[in-house]
Structure formats: C-alpha cells, structure tokens
Structure 1
Amino acid sequence: MNMFMQNLARFAGCLLAGLLLSAASLPVLMLIGRFDWIAALAASGKPLAHLALVALPGALWESLSGVADAAHNPDVRSFLELCTGVAQSGLLLAVAIYRLAVRK
C-alpha cells in the first residue's frame, strides 16, 4: 500500500506540473500570435465540454457561472471547451513527466 501512495503522490505532482505548463502555454501562444493553436486546443475540448454540459444539471451550471440557461450560453460553452482542452493537454504532459520520473 505504501508503494501505491508513493506513486499516487508522484503522479499528483506530475499532474500539477503538467497543468501549470499547459496553463502557462496560453499566454505564450497569445504573445507569439498562434491563435490557431489556441483554437485547436479549444476544439480538442469540445466533446468533453459538450458531454459535461448535457450530463450535469443546468442548476449546477447556473450556480457556477451565474448565467441563466448557462448550458446553452455560447460564452460559457467556449470557456468550458478551452478549460477542458487545457486540462487534457495538462494530463498528457503529466503522463509524459510521470514516465520520465519513473524511469530514473
């Protein structure tokens, strides 16, 4: 059980690092003018964001965003798509960082 907790803690640290790297890449992409990459990142989060908007109750989205009928609001949808895309790329980075950390 101790080994499991060590691996879980290691992966949590890698996930934090991956999310920080992924979130820090957004301003860098904006500074260098790669808005097409940001659009691709948001497009990668579209299916999961749509699933979350459909599966979770509307009252939850209204309380989180403060917008009436938040599930059908395009601004809430696009923000959730971008956040989901950033989270997915952070998870991919975390897996890569974890594999590098475990190999050593």
Structure 2
Amino acid sequence: MPNLMRFSLCLFAGLLVSGLCLPVLMLLGRFDWIALLVATGKPLAHLALLLPGDLWTQLTGVEDAANNPHVRSFLEMCMGVAQLGLLLALPIYRLGRKS
C-alpha cells in the first residue's frame, strides 16, 4: 500500500507540474510545443471517443459529442497533459525510492 500511495502522490505532482507547463508555454509564446503536446494526445483521445456516444453526450452535454471538433480538441489536449504528467511522475517516483 505505501508504494501505491507514493506513486499516487508522484502522479499528482507530475500532473500538477504538467498542468502548470501549459500556461507557461503560452506566456513564452511556444505554441508549437503546445501543438506537439496536443498531437501526442490524439491517439488516446481517438480511442476514448470510440466509447458509446450516449456516454459522451451525458459527460459533455453536447449532442454528437464524439464528432464535435471542440470536444475532440479538448480531449486531445487533456490526454497530452496527462501523458506528460505520467512521464514526469516516473522519475519523481524513482528519485523518491532511492532516498
């Protein structure tokens, strides 16, 4: 159980840092990096959008949400940020394990 708790805290820290990277990139004007971040989230977002359409309609309140470009774009960005958070959580977990 302590390993699961430590990994959860590391994942939370990674998600926090990756979430804070987005406004920093916007302030620096690095929209090309944001576009790359969104591009990394596309495959997982497309897989998630294969779930039944009623689920997405209930979650978003938008009719035909799976085919809505705004919902798709937001989901791609969220998946990209989540992947970056996981990638940051793994080294944090390893560094915490050594000490």
CA distance in 2, matches of 1:16, 1:26: 16
Which of 6, 13, 21 is the equivalent residue of 1:10? 6
Write out per-residue CA displacement over residues 31-78 of structure 1, whole angstroms, 9 at most, x where no aligned residue.
000000000000000000000001x11111111111100000010000
Normalised by the length of structure 1, the TM-score is 0.94
TM-score by length of 2: 0.98
State the alpha-carbon separation in 1 of the partners of residues 78 and 27 from structure 2.
19
- Which of 70, 94, 99 does residue 99 from structure 1 map onto? 94
Work out whether 1:29 is the aligned partner of 2:20. no
| 1:103 Cα deviation from its structure 2 partner | 1.1
Partners of 2:71 and 2:57 in 1: how far apart? 10
- Among 76, 92, 97, the alignment partner of 1:81 is 76
**Structure 1 unaligned spans of 5+:** none
In structure 1, give the amino acid aligned to 2:14: G
Matched, 1:40 2:36: yes
Unaligned runs of 5+ in 2: none
Look up the equivalent residue of 1:44 and give its one-letter code: T
Runs ≥4 residues deviating over 2 A: none
AA aligned opposite 1:100: L
Aligned length: 99
Q: Which residue of 1 aligns with 2:55?
A: 60
Alpha-carbon separation, structure 1, partners of 2:63 and 2:91: 40
RMSD between superposed Cα atoms in Å: 0.5
Q: Distance in 1 between matches of 2:92 and 2:54?
A: 37
